[in-house]
């Protein structure tokens, strides 16, 4: 990768460069702990910290000072292990899937590819957003998107061509998919299968409260697809959730609302309000067939004032919800530069924007928005986070942020807003970290290096994608 491929003054990172490389290489012509990439919170969790809770002096109130987060006491990162991952003392890793290889019951050996394996499909290319659902036997299923570009992705890189490429995309089967790893209670992998195929550039999504997977297509006419993680299948498109470069989704089950990010330089932040018949009060799930798509507008002193204090917001019904939203912008709606991960937790919707390296917090009760992390104004040692991407919020209020580029770290924003690195992948500099999800008991954390792979010498380097498991120490 050369820096000259990135437009001057534009903070689009490795992923966007790879889109360009993919097409110039001619590839288009070839064919709670249970949640991930936009969770729905958990009962009994500690309240999140937002700037509106702090007095004007900037001191944290006593109740906030007592919130320490699950990862507050982890130590510094050690030297890389055999899997090229730096972790704090007491943590361990294993590799559970590598592109082109069949998953193995006990994980992937360091020495090289193995014969045989689980399932009837090698692990997919470019694993990205992910989630976990529990199985009835105490095991779990890890669900993983495949972020393969398609014809429609050309319209992302070159918006002036989106009108044409959106049409071609409708008649061109995509190369992306969604795959699974099925685990027994002891962590043994027992199966692997596909639950969605024929789509394009599936980035993130979320596990729903009713245990399906919503997979987001990230191109200007992209849709959201609902998948059953418990059996092989093809998924169902949910056009009511809009047509745009979908990145991720978070669900507020109490208020029956979905929140959605858009990964475009002039992207917006959306919510979906179901019709009463689509998600009746007391019903365990939404049908996801009819509702209103709305877009966020920041009022008060404007979006930049959210750096200093919460600003009021309002929600506007979008124009022409069944058409690509980049062609139907409401001028009064607010621009968010490259929407990434999003997560609902205890009344707060957190989301990331990569264009300006910010983490935002929307208070759904007060109807305000503020910035809780801004790379440009962060002061050492709390300035280690860059390339913000996927998000995961623990039930103790830790915000885990995966880096797209940056230092290839997962960084924890603790409830008091201090930062701590949780892990770092080395030797895979054109990759990104994504796919954070936990086993139901919280003892194992999964994450991807979506452009990582074997180096042919018993180690790991840049490649076509792999999935790691982080084993947490006892007592954490």
Average pLDDT, the chain: 87
pLDDT band at 39 (very low <50, low <70, confident <90, very high): low
Give the per-residue pLDDT at 55.
34
Tokens 């994980």 belong to 107
Q: Is cis: bond before 106, omega within 30 of 0?
A: no
What distance in Å separates the CA atoms of residue 328 and residue 241, rounded to the nearest whole number?
15
Highest mean pLDDT: which range of 4-13, 32-41, 150-159, 327-336? 327-336
On the question of pLDDT at 60 being above 70, the answer is no
Strand segments, DSSP code E, in 218-267 are 224-227, 236-237, 246-252, 257-262
Residue 406 CA to residue 389 CA, distance in Å, equals: 10
pTM above 0.85, yes or no: yes
Concatenate the DSSP letters of all residues of 350-390 into one string. Answer: EEEETTTTEEEEEETTTTEEEEEEETTT--TTTT---SEEE
pLDDT digits (tens, 9 = 90+) for 338-348: 999 999 999 99
The pLDDT confidence band at residue 271, using thresholds 50, 70 and 90, is very high
CA distances (Å), 171 to each of 20, 168, 218, 220, 466, in order?
A: 21, 6, 17, 15, 30
300: left (phi over 0), alpha (psi -120 to 50) or beta: left
3-state helix vs strand vs coil in the chain, percent to 5: 10, 35, 50
Inform me whether the pLDDT recorded for 278 exceeds 80: yes
pLDDT category, 157, cuts 50, 70, 90?
Answer: confident
| Beta carbons of 215 and 178 less than 8 angstroms apart | yes
Token pair of 90, please? Answer: 């007491």
Q: For residues 410 and 440, is the Cβ–Cβ distance under 8 A? A: no
pLDDT band for 449, please (50, 70, 90 cuts).
very high
Q: Which residue has the tokens 């290096």?
A: 449
Mean pLDDT, residues 67-74 taken together: 87
What's the pLDDT tens digit per position in 99-139?
999 999 999 999 888 888 998 889 999 999 999 999 999 99
What 3-state DSSP class applies to 452? strand
Q: Strand 291-298 relative to strand 311-317: parallel, antiparallel, unpaired?
A: antiparallel
Q: Over range 50-54, report the average pLDDT.
A: 37
| Residue found under tokens 């994504």 | 434
- pLDDT for residue 149: 83
What are the pLDDT digits (tens) for 421-437? 999 999 999 999 999 99
- Segment 367-379 mean pLDDT: 97
What whole-number distance in Å separates Cα of residue 117 and Cα of residue 105? 7
What pLDDT sits at residue 38? 52
Confidence of residue 168 (pLDDT cuts 50, 70, 90): confident
DSSP-based three-state secondary structure for 454: strand
Confidence grade of residue 167 (pLDDT, cut at 50, 70, 90): confident
Q: Give the domains, in start order, of the chain with CATH numbers.
A: 32-471 (2.120.10.30)
Calpha distance 402→422 (Å, rounded): 10
Tell me how far CA of residue 246 lies from CA of 20, 76, 326, 395, 469, in angstroms.
Answer: 19, 35, 12, 26, 26
> Exposed, middle or buried: residue 186 (CB in 10 Å: 0-12, 13-18, 19+)?
exposed
Mean pLDDT, range 173-184, rounded to an integer: 94
Tokens standing for 95?
């590799």
For a pLDDT cut of 90, what percent of the chain falls above it? 77
């Amino acid at each position: 990768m050369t820096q000259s491929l990135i437009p001057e003054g534009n903070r689009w990172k490795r992923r966007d460069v790879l889109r360009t490389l993919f097409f110039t290489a001619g590839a288009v012509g070839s064919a709670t702990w249970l949640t991930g990439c936009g969770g729905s919170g958990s009962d009994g969790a500690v309240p999140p910290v937002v700037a509106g809770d702090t007095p004007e002096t900037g001191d944290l109130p006593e109740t906030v000072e007592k919130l320490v987060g699950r990862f507050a006491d982890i130590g510094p990162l050690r030297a890389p292990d055999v899997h090229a991952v730096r972790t704090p003392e007491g943590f361990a890793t294993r590799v559970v899937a590598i592109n082109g290889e069949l998953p193995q019951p006990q994980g992937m050996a360091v020495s090289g590819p193995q014969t045989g394996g689980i399932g009837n499909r090698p692990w997919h290319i470019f694993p990205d957003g992910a989630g976990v659902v529990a199985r009835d036997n105490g095991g779990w299923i890890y669900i993983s998107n495949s972020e393969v570009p398609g014809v429609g992705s050309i319209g992302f890189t070159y918006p002036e061509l989106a009108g044409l490429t959106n049409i071609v995309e409708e008649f061109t089967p995509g190369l992306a998919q969604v795959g699974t790893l099925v685990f027994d209670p002891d962590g043994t992998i027992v199966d692997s299968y596909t639950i969605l195929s024929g789509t394009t550039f599936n980035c993130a999504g979320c596990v729903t409260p009713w245990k399906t997977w919503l997979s987001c297509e990230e191109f200007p006419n992209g849709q959201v697809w609902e998948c059953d993680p418990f059996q092989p299948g093809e998924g169902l498109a949910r056009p009511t959730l809009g047509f745009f470069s979908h990145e991720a989704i978070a669900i507020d089950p109490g208020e029956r609302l979905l929140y959605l990010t858009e990964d475009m330089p002039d992207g917006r932040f959306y919510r979906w309000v179901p019709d009463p018949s689509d998600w009746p009060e007391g019903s365990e799930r939404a049908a996801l067939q009819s509702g209103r798509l709305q877009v966020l507008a920041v009022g008060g002193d404007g979006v930049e004032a959210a750096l200093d204090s919460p600003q009021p917001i309002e929600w506007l019904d979008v124009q022409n919800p069944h058409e690509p939203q980049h062609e139907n912008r409401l001028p009064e709606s607010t621009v968010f530069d490259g929407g990434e991960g999003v997560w609902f937790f205890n009344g707060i919707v957190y989301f990331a924007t990569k264009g300006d390296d910010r983490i935002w917090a929307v208070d759904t009760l007060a109807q305000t928005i503020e910035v809780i992390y801004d790379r440009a104004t962060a002061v050492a040692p709390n300035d280690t986070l860059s390339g913000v991407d996927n998000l995961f919020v623990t039930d103790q209020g830790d915000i885990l942020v995966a880096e797209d580029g940056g230092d290839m770290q997962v960084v924890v924003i603790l409830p008091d807003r201090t930062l701590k690195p949780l892990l770092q992948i080395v030797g895979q500099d054109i990759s990104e970290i994504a796919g954070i999800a936990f086993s139901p008991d919280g003892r194992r954390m999964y994450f991807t290096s979506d452009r990582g792979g074997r180096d042919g010498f018993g180690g790991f380097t840049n490649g076509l994608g792999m999935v790691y498991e982080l084993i947490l120490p006892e007592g954490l």
